[in-house]
């Protein structure tokens, strides 16, 4: 693609943003000057170390970095956090986990790695995506961006974007000019002020909302990793215990049905063998045996009443 084509695309996009009252600064991520990628996938997904952002206070408290955290502990704590997303005049809010299982494991691994070598003046920022079914068949991809640091013995998590669909207009414009991997920009969350996060994170044991002045920040969580992880694991164990009896009952019922099917096949095979060996012999004894076998199949409910009556008439018709 030529530079001229890209330039035209960029100019058109910026003009339309300007018309909508959006500046380029509103879209740029708050990266620092000493960024280090911990994990990256494509143009838009990453977990990276960056410079600590500034709080609204004159002095931003230094983070307690470096710190040694267990990856599984972080992952289990994050996996249990839930949030309400969406909503509006015509829509109900949808309750879902803040992170998918895969996202929790990925964050657990790289947060533990990153904070083990981070300086007190560094944070971790990330953008991750997950796909889910929308309107039965269509897959909808949602991006979640956030900021992580460790302070006062807790993991702090600020959410900038949650399940954001991305800039569809930018994708349309750039893909029409042949750009396949369209660069998007998502919010990481800031200490100084909320970033317009429209969801509602559900606080619980080990997970609390950060109090900024006298106000609770709906986008900023303080996580007691030990407590949050243990509560989540206990809930998973309880759920598994509740589902176990149902699973055992279903397995027992399936085994019973399989056993009855085997018995029915054996009985039917036995009946066919006896009928074949009779070779058309219509003696009273042979007829009685066949009728007795037929009755036995009906008594065991291995054949229906209609099948029983039809076969009985057939046998009696041979007399």
The CA–CA distances, whole Å, from 99 to 46, 145, 273, 293, 302 equal: 15, 11, 62, 62, 51
The pLDDT-based confidence of 25 (bands split at 50, 70, 90) is very low
> At a CB cut-off of 8 Å and minimum separation 6, what does 188 contact?
29, 30, 53, 125, 126, 127, 145, 146, 147, 158, 160, 195
The pLDDT-based confidence of 19 (bands split at 50, 70, 90) is very low
What pLDDT is recorded for position 90? 45
Task: Calculate the CA 63 to chain-centre distance.
Answer: 31
What does the alpha-carbon distance between residue 301 and residue 267 come to, in Å, rounded to a whole number?
A: 12
First to last CA, the chain: 90
* pLDDT cut 90: percent of the chain above it: 39
- Residues 138-160 pLDDT 10s: 567 889 999 999 999 999 999 99
What does the alpha-carbon distance between residue 150 and residue 292 come to, in Å, rounded to a whole number?
A: 81
pLDDT: is 264 or 86 the higher one? 264
Q: Which of 38-52, 64-78, 81-95, 96-110 has the lowest mean pLDDT?
A: 81-95
Largest CA distance in the chain: 110
Position 211 pLDDT exceeds 70: yes
Position 274 pLDDT exceeds 80: no
Q: For the whole model, what pTM was predicted?
A: 0.67
What pLDDT is recorded for position 5? 41
The pLDDT-based confidence of 17 (bands split at 50, 70, 90) is very low
Position 15 pLDDT exceeds 90: no
Query: What is the rounded average pLDDT for all residues in the chain?
Result: 80
The pLDDT-based confidence of 258 (bands split at 50, 70, 90) is confident
- Residues 41-50 pLDDT 10s: 988 999 999 9
Position 22 pLDDT exceeds 60: no
Position 232 pLDDT exceeds 80: yes
What pLDDT is recorded for position 257? 80
The pLDDT-based confidence of 270 (bands split at 50, 70, 90) is confident
């Amino acid at each position: 693609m030529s530079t001229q084509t890209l330039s035209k695309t960029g100019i058109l996009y910026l003009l339309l943003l300007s018309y909508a009252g959006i500046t380029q600064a509103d879209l740029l991520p708050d990266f620092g000057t000493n960024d280090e990628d911990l994990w990256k996938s494509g143009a838009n997904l990453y977990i990276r170390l960056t410079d600590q952002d500034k709080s609204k206070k004159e002095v931003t408290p230094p983070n307690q970095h470096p710190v040694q955290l267990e990856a599984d502990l972080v992952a289990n704590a994050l996996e249990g956090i839930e949030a309400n997303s969406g909503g509006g005049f015509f829509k109900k809010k949808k309750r879902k986990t803040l992170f998918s299982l895969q996202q929790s494991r990925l964050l657990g691994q790289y947060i533990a790695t990153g904070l083990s070598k981070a300086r007190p003046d560094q944070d971790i920022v990330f953008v991750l995506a997950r796909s889910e079914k929308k309107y039965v068949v269509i897959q909808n991809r949602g991006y979640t961006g956030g900021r992580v640091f460790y302070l006062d013995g807790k993991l702090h998590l600020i959410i900038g974007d949650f399940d954001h669909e991305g800039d569809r207009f930018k994708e349309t414009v750039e893909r029409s000019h042949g750009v396949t991997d369209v660069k998007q920009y998502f919010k990481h969350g800031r200490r100084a002020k909320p970033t317009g996060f429209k969801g509602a994170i559900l606080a619980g044991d080990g997970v609390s909302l950060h109090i900024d002045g006298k106000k609770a920040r709906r986008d900023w969580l303080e996580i007691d990793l030990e407590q949050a992880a243990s509560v989540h694991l206990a809930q998973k164990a309880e759920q598994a215990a509740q589902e176990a009896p149902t699973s055992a009952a279903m397995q027992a019922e399936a085994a019973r049905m399989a056993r009855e099917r085997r018995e029915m096949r054996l009985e039917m095979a036995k009946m066919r063998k006896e009928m074949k060996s009779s070779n058309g012999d219509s003696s009273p004894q042979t007829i009685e045996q066949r009728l007795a076998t037929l009755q036995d199949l009906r008594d065991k409910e291995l054949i229906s009443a209609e099948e029983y009556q039809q076969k009985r008439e057939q046998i009696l018709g041979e007399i």
